[in-house]
Amino acid sequence: MLNRIRQSIVYRIGTLMLLTVLVALSSMVASYVISDAAENDAAAVNLAGSLRAMNYRLAATAPAGDREATRQVADQVARRLQRVLDISDFVADDSSSAAARYTEVQNHWQQEIRPLVESVAAGQTPMNSFQLARRLEPFIGEVDALVSEYQQIAETKIRLLRVVQLGSLFATVLLVYLSLYILHRSVEQPLQQLTDRSMSIAQGDVDLSPLDIDSEDELGVLARTINYMSDEIHATHRDLERRVQLKTAQLQKSHEALDFQYRLARRIGEGPLQGAELEQWLSEFSRLADLENLDLCLMTPEGEAPYEHLVRGFGNNHCDPGDCQVCVSTCGSTVEGDQRNYRFPLEVDKRNYGVLVCSLPQEEELDEEQQQRLATFADSVTAAIAINEREAQERRVALMDERAIIARELHDSLAQSLSYLKIQVTRLTRANRGEQVDRDQVQEIIAELKEGLDSSYRQLRELLTTFRLQIGQGGLRGILEQAILSYREQHPQLSILLDYRLDEIPLTPHEEIHLLQLVREASQNAVYHSQGDRVEISLLQGVNHSLEVQIRDNGIGISDAPEKRNHFGMSIMQERASNLDGELAIRRRETGGTEVSFTFVPDYARNREVIWQEA
């Protein structure tokens, strides 16, 4: 029972309410019982008091000799004495003082007073009223004592009722005060603390002292739960703060690593990395990755020993220069003596350029993120070396292509011109061997030799100009405008017009060079051989993303056999057209003059068509 009261506020408050109700019920029951017991006390006092008056009536009636009246009064006294006994709280044989007093009055009345009164009324005992009254005074005194007894009994009950009511009132006030105290101490104060703590937790303040509620009831359980919850939340906040700080540090390191990789990639794109600069990048990577001992060995694909060995920190203590191939071909983690070595080969397209080695004490290991950073750095170094090698190879290929172009140009121009001149020299020799020399034929051959030499010299100058040609910032349009301006200055009698509409067409350098040479060759033929006064050059976009190039003049027109002498440029234009997979057409215009038309599809349009077909 006590445990239930101590462990439950509801049970405790219910007990107090039950006690209050019991006190109230007890007070009401006691008041009812006492009131019920005192119900006839007033009647008994009145009856006892009326006996005194009846005695005085007997003292006045009996000496007068009225026996009937005296008898009636005596009967009334006897009935009232019996009535007093009937409404009293005791019986005649009770041992209480009131019962003894009543018995004494009853016996005195029956044994002495009533016989005396009846005797006086019958005249047997002569006695006047005064004498009879004096004789009745002891009995009247006994009746007064009986009345006093009844008054004391009534007063005792009233005092008892007052005590019961006062006790009930005190008990009720005490229970109410105790209830309020318990509610204040066990409910209001803890509930206020719980409310304040809940508001603090709702505002995010969990770093508070524990609730001082040491009880076993529901609020105590709730307080301990909130204390535990606050501790858990506070611990969770501390753990989250620690994780946030750790994650922030990791993100900072990741940001630095990404920035490092970005700067390294940008630097790789700018040009080749030299050994000293690569050593600086290795030192910066070592600092960012918190790795002190790094070895970077760079080897040629055919070599057996590194041509560059960059060491950060102490490096690999077990590095054996005579066993480089084993080190380069080994990948992953290996334990060598007191060291644990992680190797990352510099490989691309099955070609090995060296190895990156990270050395740690034997008991330590790299985490996954550090291994990823090492692998990324190794890939970047590999890409830098591969790009450098590829650029060198591209330069070698470009040099060979350029030499092949020079050889082809010489073959297609000067070589053919020289062959033609050699043939003319042979003709001239034969003409001079005869007995009779045909002067006209010799003069014709000499004129053709002169014209061939002029043509060869002109072709040589064009080849020199071609080999020195560079397309600047103005692009194809700019170099064409410069060439036309040069033609106008050299041949002011000619009207040379340019219609260029390829500003929005992306052309590759290869396409621009061949277009430029083709236009220059056709325009030179028009300037030097057309004998006209107008040359029109147009570069337009045709159907299906093709490009159309036209060079027209208003001269004498091309001959019926254009492949005859001094037309070696036509074969060169044909070859340039085939390099662009285009179609070249040279024809005589109906209105007079010659038209050179060239049509081809640029690379961007071909790639777009391939993508559309695949889609």
Q: Is residue 489 part of a domain?
A: yes
Q: What is the mean pLDDT of residues 189-200?
A: 79
Q: What is the CATH number of the domain that holds 308?
A: 3.30.450.40
Q: Give the tens place of pLDDT for each residue, 269-295.
A: 777 776 677 888 888 888 888 888 888
Please, what sign has the CA dihedral across residues 573, 576, 578, 581?
negative
> What percent of the chain lies above the pLDDT cut of 90?
4
pLDDT bin (cut points 50, 70, 90) of residue 89 is low
Q: What is the mean pLDDT of residues 11-33?
A: 79
Q: Is residue 250 part of a domain?
A: no
Provide the edge-to-edge strand list for the sheet that holds 308-312.
Answer: 308-312, 294-298, 351-361, 339-348, 332-336
Report the range of poorest mean pLDDT among 21-35, 218-232, 410-424, 527-541.
410-424
Q: Give the tens place of pLDDT for each residue, 235-254.
A: 888 888 899 998 888 888 88
What domain count does the chain have? 3
Q: Is the pLDDT of residue 206 over 90?
A: no
Q: Is the pLDDT of residue 469 over 70?
A: no
- Looking at the DSSP assignment, which residues form a beta bridge with residue 359? 341
Are 263 and 180 in the same domain? no
Are 364 and 486 in the same domain? no
Are 135 and 18 in the same domain? yes
The residue type at 278? L
Among the listed residues 520, 510, 522, 516, the one whose alpha carbon sits nearest the alpha carbon of residue 581: 510
Are 186 and 325 in the same domain? no
The predicted structure's pLDDT at residue 382:
82
Q: Is residue 417 part of a domain?
A: no
* Domain end residue (candidates: 140, 162, 192): 192
pLDDT bin (cut points 50, 70, 90) of residue 589 is confident
Are 267 and 147 in the same domain? no
Q: What is the 3-state secondary structure (H, E, C) of 405-423?
A: HHHHHHHHHHHHHHHHHHH
308 or 546, which is more confident: 546
Q: What is the CATH number of the domain that holds 9?
A: 1.20.120
Q: What is the CATH number of the domain that holds 529?
A: 3.30.565.10
Are 33 and 182 in the same domain? yes
Please, what sign has the CA dihedral across residues 95, 101, 103, 107?
positive
Residues 6+ positions from 113 with CB-CB distance below 8 Å: 55, 58, 136, 139
- Looking at the DSSP assignment, which residues form a beta bridge with residue 594? 588
130 or 241, which is more confident: 241
Q: Is residue 404 part of a domain?
A: no
10: domain range?
2-192
* pTM of structure: 0.44
pLDDT bin (cut points 50, 70, 90) of residue 424 is confident
Q: Is residue 199 part of a domain?
A: no
Q: Is residue 585 part of a domain?
A: yes
Are 85 and 175 in the same domain? yes
Label the pairing between strands 339-348 and 351-361: antiparallel
The predicted structure's pLDDT at residue 549:
92
Structural element, H or E, at residue 449: helix 439-467
* Domain end residue (candidates: 192, 210, 232): 192
Are 18 and 144 in the same domain? yes
Q: List the Cα angle 584/588/591 in 5-degree steps.
A: 130
Q: Do 110 and 11 touch, CB atoms closer than 8 A? A: no
Q: Give the tens place of pLDDT for each residue, 135-179.
A: 777 877 777 777 777 677 777 777 887 888 888 888 888 888 888
The residue type at 560? D
Q: Give the tens place of pLDDT for each residue, 515-567.
A: 888 888 888 888 878 888 899 999 998 887 889 999 999 988 887 655 544 45
What Å distances lie between residue 85 and 71, 89, 102, 147, 504, CA to CA?
21, 8, 8, 13, 140
Q: What is the signed CA dihedral for 503, 506, 512, 515, rounded to 10 degrees?
A: -70
Q: What is the mean pLDDT of residues 442-446?
A: 78
Report helix angle 568-579 to 509-529, nearest 10: 160
- Looking at the DSSP assignment, which residues form a beta bridge with residue 342? 333, 358
Alpha helices (runs of H) in 336-438, residue ranges in sequence order: 368-410, 416-433
DSSP state of 63: G
DSSP state of 366: -
71 or 359, which is more confident: 359
The residue type at 223? A
Are 341 and 487 in the same domain? no
The predicted structure's pLDDT at residue 317:
63
Q: Is the pLDDT of residue 204 over 60?
A: yes
Cα(41)–Cα(119) distance, integer angstroms = 34
How much is the mean pLDDT over the chain? 77
608 or 494, which is more confident: 494
Cα(343)–Cα(293) distance, integer angstroms = 12
Residues 6+ positions from 371 with CB-CB distance below 8 Å: 342
Q: What is the signed CA dihedral for 188, 189, 195, 197, rounded to 10 degrees?
A: -170
The predicted structure's pLDDT at residue 566:
43
Q: Do 381 and 274 touch, CB atoms closer than 8 A? A: no
Q: Is 473 exposed, middle or buried (0-12, 13-18, 19+ CB in 10 A)?
A: exposed
Are 502 and 373 in the same domain? no
* Domain end residue (candidates: 367, 385, 403): 385
Report the range of poorest mean pLDDT among 21-30, 97-106, 526-535.
97-106
The predicted structure's pLDDT at residue 329:
66
Are 526 and 612 in the same domain? yes
pLDDT bin (cut points 50, 70, 90) of residue 398 is low
The predicted structure's pLDDT at residue 122:
76
Q: Is residue 583 part of a domain?
A: yes
Q: Is residue 185 part of a domain?
A: yes
Are 165 and 53 in the same domain? yes
